[in-house]
Structure 1
Amino acid sequence: MNRQLLLLSAAISFLFAASVSAEGLPVPEGNVILTVSGKIGVANSADATASFDLAMLDAMPQTSFETATIWTEGVARYSGVELAVLLDAVDADGSQLLMTALNDYAIELPARDAVPGGPILATRVDGKPLSVRDKGPIWVIYPFDDKPAYKTEVVYSRSIWQLKSIEVEE
């Protein structure tokens, strides 16, 4: 009987711990659209990753800017959470970010790119959520028109769309 109570108590503790992390990062209630793993100090799952649904990303401080891209026509307003803000929320501690798209295309991005006024994880264009068909649900966008130094092939290659995961590496 005591063993059963002990097991039940352990199970309840595990479920409670899984619902909210020690650092206060909530557990996604909707479909997970982004997972952050690797060298992070804040997680919300038993496998030490941080998972986010759209509502969680929307609850973070939002940034928007207008810019043209080499993949679209004209200027559009992109909005979402700054990469720097997201990395701070998970207490990332690495120098490289391995970013992977839904189709398993992957790029490496130096963590030093994650600065205020730098790239955002855009979830909306002109106020509308990005669909998978339109490079969503997350598209890493740099403010190309605000900072001409971003208009290089190297930076364009870092603008991964259909982002599904970020692994923080050494």
Structure 2
Amino acid sequence: MSSLTLRFITILILGFSSVFSYGAELMKPVGPVLLTVTGHLQFTNNPDGKAEFDLTMLNAIGLKKSVTTTPWTDGVNTFEGVLIKDVLKTVGSTGGTLLKITALNDYSANMPIEDLDKYNVLLAMKKNGKMLRIRDKGPLFVIYPFDEFSELQNEVIHNRSVWQVKSISIQ
């Protein structure tokens, strides 16, 4: 067996159970880090007290879909990714009332944590079955279910819909 095959089998066997480590650490990313979580968290995988996630680790959290229109895309689209509240559960969020979500270009927006339960906010990795690339607002894009709640159609919520997300700070 090739080392790539062995790595895949190991990730498959361990990934779904050990992303959520039984100690104070998460498994370490094998692939490129897509998301870094800091702030009020219990479970880390970095000596600096951060939680870093690669694609495999994000997938292991559990993928959800949101079918919606957005102000930045044409028509109705199917976005797929992880619920941000599930990311917070994975890192053992220990409090905080606000998330500071930061993009690759250092744009940031503050999101009240209460939005996560109220609206099931998605951290999308795919649009219409295709991985989001940087030029497509990826690799991670905050998606609110705009079509389900008319109150989401406003500038405040639009500003919270960060694309090219690189980090979330639990404050």
Q: TM-score, normalised by structure 2?
A: 0.83
Whole-angstrom distance in 1 between the partners of 2:108 and 2:123: 16
Native 8 Å contact 1:37 1:49 kept in 2: yes
Equivalent residue letter for 1:46: P
* 1:148 paired residue among 150, 154, 162: 150
Structure 1 stretches lacking a partner, 5+ long: 1-19
- Whose Rg is larger? 1
Whole-angstrom distance in 2 between the partners of 1:143 and 1:156: 11
SS in 1 for 2:146: coil
Match of 1:53 in 2: 54
Q: After the TM superposition, which segments of 4 or more aligned residues of structure 1 sit over 3 Å from their partners?
A: none
1:50: how far off?
A: 0.2
Native 8 Å contact 2:66 2:122 kept in 1: no
Match of 2:103 in 1: 101
Match of 2:69 in 1: 68
Match of 2:8 in 1: none
Q: Deviations over 1:37-86 (max 9, x none)?
A: 01111111111100001111111111102111111111100010001111
Whole-angstrom distance in 2 between the partners of 1:95 and 1:62: 24
Q: TM-score, normalised by structure 1?
A: 0.84
Structure 1 residues 147 and 132, CA gap change in structure 2 (3 angstroms) = same
Whole-angstrom distance in 2 between the partners of 1:132 and 1:31: 14
1:149: how far off?
A: 2.0
Whole-angstrom distance in 1 between the partners of 2:150 and 2:119: 13
Native 8 Å contact 1:129 1:137 kept in 2: yes
SS in 1 for 2:161: coil
User: What's the % identity of the aligned pairs?
Assistant: 41
Q: Deviations over 1:112-144 (max 9, x none)?
A: 111175210000001110000000000000011
Structure 1 residues 45 and 21, CA gap change in structure 2 (3 angstroms) = farther
Structure 2 stretches lacking a partner, 5+ long: 1-20
CA RMSD of aligned residues (A): 1.4
Equivalent residue letter for 2:52: S
Native 8 Å contact 1:99 1:108 kept in 2: yes
SS in 2 for 1:41: coil
Native 8 Å contact 1:36 1:168 kept in 2: yes
Whole-angstrom distance in 1 between the partners of 2:48 and 2:167: 14
Equivalent residue letter for 2:117: V
1:23: how far off?
A: 4.1
Match of 1:136 in 2: 138
